[in-house]
């Protein structure tokens, strides 16, 4: 049995050097044991070609090794696909004790199965991909939940304590260096500490929880901000705990507010629904009425989003208005670089008069948070502004708008686009894609890549086509739902990057 001792828990370079030598020698995966633990007589790892940084691995025989197996005809020049290297770099950061052995097993098999990485049904590949996703989630959680506290005033210095689910401190650190370039800060974790002095990052050994900084005066301001942006109508407690796991709460200043906000959310949401809608300003309403012709809005183009919001209530371009509570116009930043277009309001949106506040809206908000795309800097609307449904008992069941209804309401979407002038538009589902492009656009064939939209007087923009959040809710298979959700988050992240809302 060959025992490979790596220099650290995240020693990817040492693993790669050792794996390359073992594979060249024909050492089968079952004959190799990987460890980061050292005994009293172990020399420091050096490894050939490791340089002066202590990167490498020490290998020893604990028992006679079996005869080397002959290499395939391709010989020792075997190279792995870049996707495997990317996968291995992530998997090494996972806390699983099997990660190094799993990667070597995949490497061993790749020589005889060159397309192995492209097979999601393979147990080894599936396990490695799951680890890669877990590491990516841990990096995202660290980006989202690190809270800096002022520890010195002269010079102004900040520190934060965080306990990541996996060993991602060094991988996550460059994000903070870009985002807080002008601050001097340190992030303490049990695995490693990273410090930024305004010019360079330094990495040191992990810290003890006793070193965590205490509260500062800014935390009360943060709690006030969090309470003011908390929307009870969008609360999904299960989803919230999934996106903000309780294990992180002890390091979040806003966490002490969460129980009370959750407890009062239902009553506050009911009060919001029961409240009468705010009437538009008299000037805006008069302008909308002046442009109405024979029950249809066919006059001059609206000059503001307020005018669109008021005038859409008068729209009679199709018959959907007859059975609805109200029209639901778009909502968001007036000149947002990013616009999201859904299909139509749902039951809860029809009652509240706001887009994406129901179950699909909660999925949408959670995915936006995971992608790092701020909703408050985007404009959210729908292809069709009235809720199309059929009564079934006391329930109103959603019905997909037909092409004529989409075309009738496209006038309003074009008006919103002309006023907002987004750089990137995300079409959530096929109906939204039809409304934006004017032609049938299959989601599966077009998602995951930007498409250029023609400039027709409403600004030049790129289009991202992706799933509607309600599609994720309807998928019965858990694995399919998880894969689709990951793709949905990736699409939102791409849109945020194109709109320059995500670094």
pLDDT digits (tens, 9 = 90+) for 447-479: 999 999 987 666 679 999 999 999 998 888 888
Both 152 and 104 in one domain: the answer is no
Both 117 and 159 in one domain: the answer is no
Both 296 and 390 in one domain: the answer is no
> Which of 179, 211, 243 is a domain's end point?
211
Asked whether residue 453 is domain-assigned, the answer is yes
Contacting residues for 436 by C-beta, under 8 A, at least 6 apart: 341, 383, 413, 425, 427, 453, 463
pLDDT score for 50: 35
Both 33 and 128 in one domain: the answer is yes
Enumerate residue ranges in the chain where pLDDT < 70: 38-57, 59-78, 217, 276-301, 456-459, 503
Both 291 and 406 in one domain: the answer is no
d(CA 125, CA 86): 13
C-alpha to C-alpha distances, 69 to 24, 74, 105, 112, 356, nearest whole angstrom: 9, 14, 15, 13, 60
For residues 431 and 401, is the Cβ–Cβ distance under 8 A?
yes
The 10s digit of each residue's pLDDT in 248-276 is 887 788 888 888 888 888 888 788 777 76
Asked whether residue 243 is domain-assigned, the answer is no
Asked whether residue 235 is domain-assigned, the answer is no
Asked whether residue 197 is domain-assigned, the answer is yes
Q: Which domain holds residue 91?
A: 2-139
3-state secondary structure of 396: strand
Asked whether residue 357 is domain-assigned, the answer is yes
pLDDT score for 117: 92
Beta bridge partners, 395, equal: 392
Question: Residue 457 corresponds to which tokens in the numbers above?
Answer: 């007087």
What are the residue ranges of helices labelled H in 146-281? 169-179, 218-229, 237-243, 258-274
d(CA 16, CA 481): 34
The CATH number assigned to the domain holding 379 equals: 3.40.470.10
Greatest Cα pair distance, the chain, in angstroms, is 93
| Cα–Cα–Cα angle for 270, 276, 281, rounded to 5 degrees | 140
Question: Residue 402 corresponds to which tokens in the numbers above?
Answer: 């037909």
Asked whether residue 391 is domain-assigned, the answer is yes
Asked whether residue 105 is domain-assigned, the answer is yes
pLDDT score for 430: 95
Both 80 and 107 in one domain: the answer is yes
> Which of 288, 316, 344 is a domain's end point?
316
Both 118 and 151 in one domain: the answer is no
Both 337 and 401 in one domain: the answer is yes
pLDDT score for 458: 67
pLDDT score for 252: 83
Both 344 and 454 in one domain: the answer is yes
Both 476 and 339 in one domain: the answer is yes
Asked whether residue 270 is domain-assigned, the answer is no
C-alpha to C-alpha distances, 407 to 264, 411, 426, nearest whole angstrom: 41, 8, 18
Both 159 and 42 in one domain: the answer is no
Both 334 and 416 in one domain: the answer is yes
Structural domains in the chain (count): 4
d(CA 387, CA 322): 10
């Amino acid at each position: 049995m060959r025992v490979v001792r790596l220099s650290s828990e995240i020693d990817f370079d040492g693993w790669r050097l050792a794996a390359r030598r073992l594979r060249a020698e024909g050492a089968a995966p079952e004959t190799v044991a990987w460890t980061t633990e050292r005994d009293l007589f172990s020399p420091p790892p050096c490894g050939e070609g490791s340089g002066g940084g202590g990167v490498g691995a020490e290998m020893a025989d604990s028992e006679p090794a079996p005869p080397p197996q002959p290499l395939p005809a391709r010989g020792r020049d075997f190279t792995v696909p870049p996707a495997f290297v990317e996968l291995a770099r992530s998997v090494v950061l996972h806390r699983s004790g099997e990660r190094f052995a799993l990667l070597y097993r995949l490497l061993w098999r790749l020589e005889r199965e060159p397309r192995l990485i492209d097979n999601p049904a393979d147990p080894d590949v599936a396990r490695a991909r799951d680890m890669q996703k877990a590491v990516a989630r841990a990096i995202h959680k660290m980006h989202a939940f690190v809270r800096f506290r002022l520890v010195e005033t002269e010079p102004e210095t900040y520190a934060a304590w965080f306990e990541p689910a996996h060993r991602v401190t060094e991988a996550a650190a460059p994000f903070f260096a870009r985002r807080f370039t002008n601050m001097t800060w340190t992030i303490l974790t049990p695995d490693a500490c990273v410090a930024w002095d305004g010019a360079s990052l330094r990495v040191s050994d992990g810290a003890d929880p006793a070193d965590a900084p205490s509260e500062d005066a800014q935390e009360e301001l943060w709690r006030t901000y969090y309470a003011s942006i908390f929307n009870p109508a969008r609360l999904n407690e299960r989803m919230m705990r999934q996106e903000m796991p309780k294990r992180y709460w002890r390091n979040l200043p806003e966490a002490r507010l969460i129980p009370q906000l959750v407890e009062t959310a239902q009553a506050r949401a009911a009060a919001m629904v029961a409240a009468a809608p705010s009437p538009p300003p008299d000037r805006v309403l008069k302008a909308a009425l002046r442009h109405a012709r024979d029950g249809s809005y066919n006059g001059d183009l609206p000059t503001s989003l307020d005018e669109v919001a008021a005038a859409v209530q008068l729209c009679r371009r199709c018959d959907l208005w007859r059975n609805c509570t109200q029209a639901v116009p778009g909502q968001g930043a007036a000149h947002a670089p990013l616009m999201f277009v859904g299909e139509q309001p749902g039951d809860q949106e029809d009652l509240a008069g706001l887009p994406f506040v129901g179950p699909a809206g909660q999925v949408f908000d959670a995915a936006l948070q995971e992608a790092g795309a701020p909703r408050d800097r985007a404009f959210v609307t729908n292809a069709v502004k009235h809720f199309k449904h059929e009564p079934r008992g006391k329930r109103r069941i959603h019905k997909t708008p037909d092409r004529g209804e989409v075309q009738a309401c496209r006038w309003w979407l074009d008006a919103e686009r002309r006023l907002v002038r987004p750089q990137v538009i995300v079409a959530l589902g096929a109906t939204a894609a039809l409304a934006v492009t004017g032609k049938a656009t299959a989601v599966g064939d077009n998602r995951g890549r930007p498409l250029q939209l023609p400039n027709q007087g409403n600004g030049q923009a790129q289009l991202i086509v992706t799933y509607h959040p309600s599609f994720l809710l309807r998928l019965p298979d858990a694995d399919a739902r998880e894969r689709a959700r990951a793709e949905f988050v990736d699409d939102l992240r791409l849109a945020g990057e194109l709109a320059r809302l995500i670094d």
